[in-house]
């Protein structure tokens, strides 16, 4: 078992023991996406010149009053262990394992704007029909999509984005 999987398993066990698996999944997923998308946050949390206490203080400032104690503790554990660069991979594996417990598949969807609850529900239904699996949706607001969405379920990628359509038109013209 590699380190990412070991951490993901630990996350799963802690979240289950705390009785907040779904909430911890959601909080960690959102934090991992913020971490991956923020150069400043990545630099602050990986800077070896910054003492571990200060890096942990950054986590407490960002999550302390907004997230469950279990979520804060799990991120803090990864930061304190010097493995924060692995956080997105750890969280992705954790989310996959939690979904497998429920016999579901995770669909990561990138959209230019947040989805309404009705849009989310229609998308879950459409992806479930397309894959034949129960779907858990994780939405990432990504302005580079420009419009539409890009969905990834396992190895299947469905690109219904404006950017994807423009790229397709460029390839057809060549």
Q: What is the DSSP string of the chain?
A: --HHHHHHHHHHHHHHHHT-HHHHHHHHHHHHHHHHH-HHHHHHHH-TTS-HHHHHHHHHHHHTTTS-HHHHHHHHHHHHTT-GGGHHHHHHHHHHHHHHHTT-EEEEEEESSPPPHHHHHHHHHHHHHHHTS-EEEEEEE-GGG-SSEEEEETTEEEE--HHHHHHHHHHHH-
- Per-residue pLDDT of the chain (174 residues), as tens digits, is 699 999 999 999 999 999 999 999 999 998 999 998 899 999 999 998 889 899 999 999 999 889 999 999 999 999 999 899 999 999 999 999 998 888 888 899 999 899 999 999 999 999 999 888 899 898 888 888 888 898 888 888 888 877 777 777 788 887
**Is it true that domain 3-97 has CATH number 2.60.220.30?**
no
Give domain limits for the chain: 3-97, 104-173
Residues 6+ apart with CB under 8 A from 44: 50, 55, 58
> pTM value?
0.77
């Amino acid at each position: 078992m590699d380190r990412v999987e070991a951490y993901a398993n630990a996350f799963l066990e802690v979240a289950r023991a705390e009785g907040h698996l779904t909430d911890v999944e959601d909080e960690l997923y959102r934090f991992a996406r913020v971490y991956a998308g923020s150069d400043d946050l990545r630099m602050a949390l990986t800077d070896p010149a910054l003492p571990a206490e200060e890096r942990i203080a950054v986590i407490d400032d960002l999550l302390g009053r907004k997230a469950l104690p279990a979520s804060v503790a799990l991120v803090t554990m990864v930061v304190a262990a010097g493995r924060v660069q692995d956080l997105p991979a750890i969280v992705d594996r954790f989310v996959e394992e939690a979904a497998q417990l429920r016999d579901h598949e995770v669909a990561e969807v990138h959209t230019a704007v947040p989805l309404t609850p009705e849009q989310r529900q229609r998308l879950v239904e459409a992806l479930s029909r397309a894959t034949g699996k129960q779907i858990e949706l994780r939405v990432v607001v990504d302005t580079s999509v420009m419009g539409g969405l890009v969905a990834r379920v396992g190895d299947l990628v469905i690109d219904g984005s404006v950017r994807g359509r423009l790229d397709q038109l460029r390839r057809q013209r060549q």
